[in-house]
Structure 1
Amino acid sequence: MEALAVLTTVGNEEQANTIARELVARRHAACVNIVVGVRSVYRWKGKICKDSEYLLLAKTTVAEYPAVVETIRELHTYELPEILALRVDLATDDFLAWIAASLDKDAAFVDDDVDEGVAIPLDDTNF
């Protein structure tokens, strides 16, 4: 299994939560970190722009990458979303095993709740 870290930015918290939740719920990503307060400076349609964004960092595999891209494009509001994949050259064996197990669509899971030490139902009210 080849692990990837996939990055994308979004313009608001709701979209960050939606994309993160769907990537994990569909088992395309084992985990998605949402980084708040990212400042982006970029050129778009001939102008230099500056925006506050949310950075999503999804841990996944090369095999799931096409589904990650498809899900991001399906749910993203940007005309041209940033989707970057970085190969994970080094990681602990147990973390890589956890990624693989989390993405196993045949695995028997008790539930698909969000666990932050306490199980939280996976719905919009918790994101």
Structure 2
Amino acid sequence: MSFLVYVTAPDEALALTLARALVGEGLAAGVNIVPGARSIYRWRGEVHDVEEHLLVAQVSRAALPAFEAAVKRLHSYEVPCMVAVPIEAGHGPFLDWIRENSRPPAPADD
């Protein structure tokens, strides 16, 4: 099974940094960046209304833990928005492409 992982970023620079790192490290097969998302949310007792960039990443189950760790490491938010939605069905070759291009990092040799 693979996932579409929804992540938000405060600006284009961080969205590009995240997308390039996640694809470059092989943790996501691809990432779509959608600018102009408007987020209204409660944080520490206050309501915020901000412009953000939405990232939608295609991630295999095997790569998901490393993907989450990378987003936490690279993101500027204390609590990044990150939600993995399972892909129940889809175009077979596309789903194969996700699995083939989104893999966990190889274990380090000691």
The two structures have a TM-score, normalised by structure 1, of 0.79
- Residue 27 of structure 2 is aligned to residue 28 of structure 1: yes
Which contiguous aligned blocks of 4+ residues in structure 1 show a shift greater than 2 angstroms?
none
2:87 corresponds in structure 1 to 88
Deviation at 1:104, TM superposition (A): 5.2
Instruction: Give the length in aligned residue pairs.
Output: 104
What is the aligned-residue identity percentage?
38
Q: Which moved more, 1:95-104 or 1:60-69?
A: 95-104
**Structure 2 residues not aligned, in runs of 5+:** 105-110
The answer to whether the 8 A contact 2:36-2:52 is kept is yes
Where does 1:69-80 land on structure 2 (aligned, <5 Å)?
A: 69-80=68-79
For 2:60 and 2:101, locate their aligned partners in 1 and report how far apart those are by CA, in whole Å: 11
Higher relative contact order (CA 8 A, sep 6+): 2
Cα RMSD between the aligned structures?
A: 1.1
The two structures have a TM-score, normalised by structure 2, of 0.91
The answer to whether the 8 A contact 2:9-2:53 is kept is yes
**Structure 1 residues not aligned, in runs of 5+:** 106-127
User: Against the structure 1 CA distance between its residues 66 and 104, is the aligned structure 2 distance closer, same or farther, given a 3 Å change threshold?
Assistant: closer
